[in-house]
Amino acid sequence: MTSPDALPPPPSRAARLIGLGSWLPLRQITNTELCSRLDTSAEWIQARIGITTRHVADPATATSDMAVEAGLRAMKSAEVEHVDALLLATTTPDHPVPSTAPTVAHRLGLRQVPAFDVAAGCSGFVYATSVAAALIQSGTAHTVLVVGAETMSAIIDPADRSTAPIFGDGAGAVVLEAGRAGEPGTLGPVAWGSDGEHAGAIYVPEGGSRRSPSPVTGAEAGRYVHMQGNVVLRHAVRHMSQVARDAAAAAGWAVRDIDRLIVHQANARISAAVADDLGIPPEGVPSNIARVGNTSAASIPLLLAHATADGRLTAGQRVLVAAFGAGFTWAATTLVWPRGLQALT
């Protein structure tokens, strides 16, 4: 067997970010509206999570619908009409079977391209982006559309105060194209991992092969997300801090080189703790959780789009992206923000 060290160096080909788009459903649920039906308060939600309002899809809108909208905008932003593959990061596919990505590809007019879902919880978008980058680096694909889209409202119990205030719906997407390693916009090495020991910390008990759907309703309903929030919170801070350090080191950056930390919008306290651990000041940590909530796999591309649209992400900044989610899973990567990238939101 050849040792990894004896292999040729990595190719100079890399995945470059050339398009960015996002989409949010129109309907919003404010803290005030939530408080009218839950045993909670707007102050508690604001102080403990940092969310003021979240967008929620209407019952006729599924994950593929939002993914198509975000995908269209990303392709328009990139000025491309075709891509070689589509990856959809989601934990809320339209159906258990088939996967949702082929539907999205079909509706985008991407005839017969390879298309598949990536399920890695809130880390799904960074996982999918890294797989797409590897497809590009290997020469398997030249251009790839990566979408993160979630209809969290479909799997959240509206009567559960420990999850209902947190999650929101939405979609974001990027187009990656083959470029030269090291040029602005190209993705650095990924640092990532998982720990299935904590699979039960965020999970939906029913609907998979372990347990078929039951007619139980209310707090015990098996079709909803069950979450041990404080366990998740602790691990999220620890793993995102560490994986951010690992991704920075793999890129040859010192942590102080990071101009912008794009961290999964799980809870404003989690983002602040990660930033604090890394020594990154608040102005270096764009956030949109106050107005979109935790959108799981859509969180990172939505934040990239919003921060670009409002000028918090600008050309030349060294950007580190880090995520953590159900599984547990975690992932981080780096890029220097490219010139001329317009986000269509």
> Which residues belong to the active site?
122, 264, 294
Applying CB under 6 A, which of residues 18, 88, 108, 202 lies at the interface with ligand UT7? 202
Instruction: Return the residue matching tokens 């509706």.
Output: 107
CB contact at 8 A, 175 and 143: yes
- Can you read off the two tokens belonging to residue 99? 């996967």
**Shortest Å distance, C-beta 43 to ligand UT7:** 9
Q: How many CB atoms lie within 10 A of CB 150?
A: 32
- What x/- string results for residues 230 through 249 when contact with ligand UT7 is judged by CB under 6 A? x-xx--x-------------
Q: Going by C-beta distance under 8 Å and a sequence separation of 6 or more, which residues neighbour residue 188?
A: 247, 250, 251, 333, 334, 335
Verify binding: residue 327, ligand UT7, rule CB under 6 A: no
Q: Is 253 in the site for ligand UT7 (CB under 6 A)?
A: no
Output the smallest distance, CB 201 to ligand UT7, in A: 9
- Taking CB under 6 A as the criterion, the residue among 14, 18, 49, 135 binding ligand UT7 is 49
- Binding footprint of ligand UT7, residue count (CB under 6 A): 19
44 binds ligand UT7 (CB under 6 A): yes
DSSP 255-314: GGG-SEEEE--S-HHHHHHHHHHHT--GGGS---HHHH-B-GGGHHHHHHHHHHHTTSS-
Is 49 or 120 the residue whose CB approaches ligand UT7 more closely?
49
Q: Which two tokens stand for residue 177?
A: 């194209």
Give the E-state strand segments of 119-268 in sequence order: 143-150, 170-180, 191-194, 202-203, 226-227, 260-263
CA distance 19 to 179: 14
Question: Which of 145, 232 has the CB closer to ligand UT7?
Answer: 232
Q: Which of 75, 122, 131, 147 binds ligand UT7 (CB under 6 A)?
A: 122
Q: Is residue 304 a contact residue for ligand UT7 (CB under 6 A)? A: no
Q: How far apart are CA 90 and CA 31, in angstroms?
A: 25
Show the site string, 265-294: x = touches ligand UT7 by CB under 6 A, - = not. -xx--------------------------x
Q: Does 53 bind ligand UT7 (CB under 6 A)?
A: no
Angle at 295 between CA 290 and CA 297, to 5 degrees: 140
Of 84-92, 111-119, 158-166, 330-338, the window that binds ligand UT7 (rule: CB under 6 A) is 158-166
Q: Given the rule CB under 6 A, which of 17-25, 161-169, 243-251, 283-291 is the region that contacts ligand UT7? A: 161-169
Which residue, 108, 102, 147, 152, is CA-closest to 128? 147
Residue nearest to ligand UT7 (CB): 229
Among 106, 107, 142, 161, binds ligand UT7 (CB under 6 A): 161
In the complex, minimum distance from the CB of residue 2 to ligand UT7, in angstroms, rounded to a whole number: 39
Q: Which of 13, 48, 76, 291 binds ligand UT7 (CB under 6 A)?
A: 48
**Under rule CB under 6 A, residue 168 binds ligand UT7:** no
Lookup: tokens for 37: 């039906």
Q: What is the number of other CB atoms lying within 10 angstroms of the CB of residue 212?
A: 9
Distance CA 286, CA 185 (A): 18
We find the least distance from the C-beta atom of residue 295 to ligand UT7, in angstroms, to be 9
Based on the shown chain and the rule CB under 6 A, indicate whether residue 46 belongs to the binding site for ligand UT7. Answer: no
Rounded CA gap, 277 and 295, in Å?
A: 24
Q: Which residues bind ligand UT7 (CB under 6 A)?
A: 40, 44, 48-49, 122, 161-162, 165-166, 202, 229-230, 232-233, 236, 266-267, 294, 325
